[in-house]
Amino acid sequence: MGKSSFFTGQPVFNQLLSFIPAALVSRLSKKYKADYYVKRFTASDHLVSMLFCAFHRCTSIRELITGLQANSNRLFHMRLTTTPRRSTLSDANKRRPEGFFQELFHQLFKIHYGVLPDSLKGETLFKRLFVIDSTTFTMFCDVLKGAGVYGHNGRKKGGAKAHVMMRVEDQVPSFVHLTEAASSDKILMPLVTVPSRAVLIMDMAYVNYKLMAAWSDQKIDWVTRLHPWLRFQVTQQRKVKEIHRKQGVRRDQTILLGNPATQSRNPLQVARLVTYYDRSSKREFTFLTNNQTFSPLTIAQIYKQRWNVETMFRGIKQSFQFHNFLGDNQNAIKIQLWCTLIAHLLVSIVRDKVNKLRKRKWSLANITGMIRQHLTTYIHLIGFLLDPDKALIGYQHPNPREQLLLFKT
């Protein structure tokens, strides 16, 4: 690849936007009436502006607008027809339906990572792993009800919660539901669609007897930790192999899960308890599952994959800005969160494309930092990430005399 092939007629930001089909944006805009009574600042303009905000980690509307104005000569490349005023963007954040951005995120996942199949029969165990979990974004305003204890002044900080299902293979959320932080985690359980033969990994907070039984009927395996309040009765002590005992497995039991006093509403179901001692943390864990065939050590190893979703949450929070929001209303906050998740999805698409071609893998944080530094640079993004040092050899900086003077005397 020659040096000239590293450069392109489109800035990096436009290359990222090319992963978002314009036809999809137009269709969803009509579906949600996102452009009704709009003269200039369309849903597409709004999306591009908020993605610019996410990549540059803007902390205020003024910072975002001045950033767009500083790149006004590149507005055409960025699909922007005009630079919005602060009041225009503020009104759009308040009035434009956040459902437009929500469905756009989920449709983009389906386009680039595929629609989840009805069944995962024949797939390897790793390809069948899914994790559901949640993460909280704390904010100083009390627009969304926060979680945790009250402060000394009797008030509680607001917060938003993202309920997420992630396929372990992709390391990208496949489904997201936004609520206030005080919402229960298990609100996500009836909303997700899990393929047959999948293995669903959950924390102990996700308890719903009826859904867990329904998943078993649909041939969906689930693995979670035993909640201290759960009722069960041990029916069988399963034999633990000596090799598994040496690796930390202490007990393997078959149980009847559920409360006998309420079995008319929630019938008792056969489940399994695996007690495992982790030598590295010097802690004992008890795992609850409906799978009766996996070895107890496999059950413990499956649950360890739950850490992947925590790693993803940490990566998103480190790479993007969640401390300051551009609006003080629920709709504006959710729009900013959805656009940040879309920005994360775009970076993940680039990361996966580059890592397939590169021996040394990029982390999400490094790629996000590179993109932030070169967002308006006319350089081929994929080629640049494959060999950053070579790509910048011979890069010609613009002649200062040809640039407009910021201050004239």
d(CA 380, CA 18): 13
Q: What is the number of other CB atoms lying within 10 angstroms of the CB of residue 213?
A: 19
Spatial CA neighbour of 332 closest among 186, 192, 185, 158: 158
Domain coordinates in residue numbering, the chain: 3-102+330-394, 204-295
Spatial CA neighbour of 290 closest among 201, 389, 182: 201
Helix (H) or strand (E) holding 270: strand 269-278
Provide the pLDDT for residue 158.
Answer: 67
| Amino acid symbol at 267 | P
User: Which two tokens mark 136?
Assistant: 């909280």
Whether 34 and 100 have beta carbons less than 8 Å apart is answered as yes
Provide the pLDDT for residue 187.
Answer: 92
User: Across-strand partners of 176?
Assistant: 164
Provide the pLDDT for residue 395.
Answer: 56
* Side-chain half-sphere CA neighbours of 284 within 13 A: 7
Spatial CA neighbour of 158 closest among 188, 133, 180: 180
Spatial CA neighbour of 343 closest among 8, 19, 1: 19
Provide the pLDDT for residue 400.
Answer: 45
**β-bridge pairing 221-225 and 199-201:** parallel
DSSP conformational letter for 185: G
pLDDT, one tens digit for every residue, the chain (409 residues): 444 556 667 889 999 999 999 999 999 999 999 988 888 889 999 999 999 999 999 999 999 999 888 877 776 667 777 788 999 999 999 999 999 999 999 999 999 998 878 788 888 999 999 999 999 888 766 666 655 545 555 555 668 899 999 999 999 999 999 998 888 899 999 999 999 999 999 999 898 889 999 999 999 999 999 998 888 999 999 999 999 999 999 999 999 998 888 888 888 999 999 999 999 889 999 999 999 999 999 999 999 999 999 999 999 999 998 888 888 889 999 999 999 999 999 999 999 999 888 877 888 889 999 899 888 888 888 888 888 777 666 555 545 444 444 444 4
- Phi, psi (rounded to 5 degrees) for 268: -65, 145
